[in-house]
Amino acid sequence: MALKITVIGTGYLGATHAAAMAELGFEVLGLDVVPDKIEMLQRGEVPMYEPGLEELLRKHVAGIEGASGRLRFTMDPAEAADFGDVHFICVNTPQKHGEYACDMSYVDSALESLAKHLTRPALVVGKSTVPVGSADRLAARLTELAPAGDQVELAWNPEFLREGFAVKDTLHPDRIVVGVRSEHAERVLREVYATPIAEGSPFVVTDFPTSELVKTSANSFLATKISFINAMAEVCEAAGGDVVKLAEALGHDDRIGKKFLRAGIGFGGGCLPKDIRAFMARAGELGADQALTFLREIDSINMRRRGQMVEMAREALGGGPFLGKRVAVLGATFKPDSDDVRDSPALNVAGQIHLQGGQVTVYDPKGMANARRIFPTLGYADTAMEAVRGADVVLHLTEWREFRELDPAELASVATTPLILDGRNALDPEAWRAAGWTYRAMGRPTA
């Protein structure tokens, strides 16, 4: 009989994982504690913007016309425990308030509320990003709480999906990593991922700590790559170099590669910043803090970028205070193709200028509602054109395709001063200059 799967936590990770499991042919039950989320998902609606996810969900949610019916949702952990052979824990692990460490309370309570009801054999699989050592602790807790005792087992299976590509990354992962303690657990997970394995996704089997570390070290490596090129951008600013050309030339060395070498205002979002901090905190607890002190530098290079963008805007406006200056900000989300504004460098820059007296107007293709919620005092416009109308300077802070497709000549006709600062090194300088703009980008003083 085909395995039955539950997915606990239906945010970014969980909603995508649940829909993908249904797409792979399994019967799936999603569990969450937030009634609004469950009601939306039951209607086939996704509580965030993620390309392709709503379509995939509507293809499978029971009760939607023409859907396979393989995907259902509930708020009852007992129902989930009764239903599933494999339970995926997909809740989030945000940074703790006032600390570097991550908050494990959602993972702990997801595991505990499920475990109490597990009266039959099951495999519980953690997908959340957790500090190394958590799986070991949670495995003991699981056996202690589950009525089925050692018939219930834990495995760890980190998730590497990127926002904006979540569906593709889940259905066609570039690798599947499983931390297991038995051949049985490995066999079950090979069955779950039989389709991507058959397509060629590498399947890497490890112990618990290694599987947890793969995730945090992967994100640390990516953060390091971005901060490396941003450090080079700082040197280029001082030396009169061009960081975009530099990255292009470096990228031709395939040991380095050209991906994740886009200099600009740096990384944000719900993962990279909090993951490197939680990793440092955990290394400290383990007595290995020296090994990760470099991540402190990665973090500060990254956070410095935001302030440097603000200073670049101030200089471009003549060097004085922002008071009375009209600043258009294109982009609010932490990256394009997402509505996520968590720790967004774009909003941070917009906020800093606003708090220094600038009149900031923000436009973003998908992030307006979320941006308004966390930064209600900023000005917002319904289109890029409206944001730019009357502006003394335009800041390009999230590299949406929509912004690359704007007509610089049309925008020049509504701006007070045709002055654009590219915080993502993504616009075509020639096209903007040809339309009369003064174009300046980060790490490219002469380009």
Residue 271 is among the residues annotated as catalytic for this protein:
yes
Question: Which residues have C-beta within 8 Å of that of residue 226, sequence separation ≥ 6?
Answer: 260, 261, 262, 266, 267, 272, 302
SS3 177: strand
Q: Which of residues 171-210 bind ligand UGA (CB under 6 A)?
A: none
Among 9, 77, 269, 443, binds ligand UGA (CB under 6 A): 269
Contact status: 306 vs ligand UGA (CB under 6 A): no
Does 409 show up as a binding residue in the annotation?
A: no
Contact status: 400 vs ligand UGA (CB under 6 A): no
Identity of the residue numbered 83:
F
Q: Which stretch binds ligand UGA (CB under 6 A): 68-76, 155-163, 248-256, 402-410?
A: 155-163
Sheet containing 359-363: give its strands across: 379-380, 359-363, 326-330, 393-396, 419-422, 438-441
CA distance 312 to 370: 26
Q: Pattern 329-358, binding to ligand UGA, x per CB under 6 A?
A: -----xx-----------------------
| Gap between the terminal Cα atoms of the chain | 62
Q: What is the residue-wise DSSP string for 120-138?
A: S-EEEEE-S---TTHHHHH
Contact status: 303 vs ligand UGA (CB under 6 A): no
Q: Which of residues 232-251 bind ligand UGA (CB under 6 A)?
A: none
**Residue 194 beta carbon to ligand UGA: minimum distance, rounded to whole angstroms:** 22
Going by their DSSP bridges, the two strands 379-380 and 419-422 should be labelled as unpaired
Among 21, 222, 384, 387, binds ligand UGA (CB under 6 A): 222
Indicate the residue among 152 and 347 with the shorter CB distance to ligand UGA: 347
**Residue 257 beta carbon to ligand UGA: minimum distance, rounded to whole angstroms:** 11
Burial zone of 430 (CB within 10 Å; 0-12 exposed, 13-18 middle, 19+ buried): exposed
**Residue ranges of E strands in 129-230:** 152-156, 176-179, 203-206
Contact status: 20 vs ligand UGA (CB under 6 A): no
Contact status: 162 vs ligand UGA (CB under 6 A): yes
Indicate the residue among 261 and 310 with the shorter CB distance to ligand UGA: 261
Indicate the residue among 6 and 129 with the shorter CB distance to ligand UGA: 129
Among 19, 102, 110, 261, binds ligand UGA (CB under 6 A): 261
Among 29, 41, 271, 349, binds ligand UGA (CB under 6 A): 271
Identity of the residue numbered 343:
D
- Tell me which residue of 14, 64, 58 sits closest to 34, measured CA to CA: 14
**Residue 362 contacts residue 332 (beta carbons within 8 Å):** yes
Does 444 show up as a binding residue in the annotation?
A: no
Q: Which stretch binds ligand UGA (CB under 6 A): 61-69, 143-151, 258-266, 314-322?
A: 258-266
- Tell me which residue of 295, 304, 261 sits closest to 276, measured CA to CA: 295
CA distance 136 to 301: 34
For 185, the token pair is 């657990």
Give 246-252 contacts, CB < 8 A, sequence gap 24+.
none
Among 100, 160, 203, 294, binds ligand UGA (CB under 6 A): 160
Indicate the residue among 30 and 264 with the shorter CB distance to ligand UGA: 264
Indicate the residue among 129 and 211 with the shorter CB distance to ligand UGA: 129
**Residue 230 beta carbon to ligand UGA: minimum distance, rounded to whole angstroms:** 7
Query: Which residues are annotated as part of the binding site?
Result: 32, 37, 93, 129, 160-163, 215, 260-264, 268, 274, 335, 342
Residues that bind ligand UGA (CB under 6 A): 129, 159-163, 219, 222, 226, 260-262, 264, 266-269, 271-272, 275, 334-335
Q: What is the set of active-site residues?
A: 271
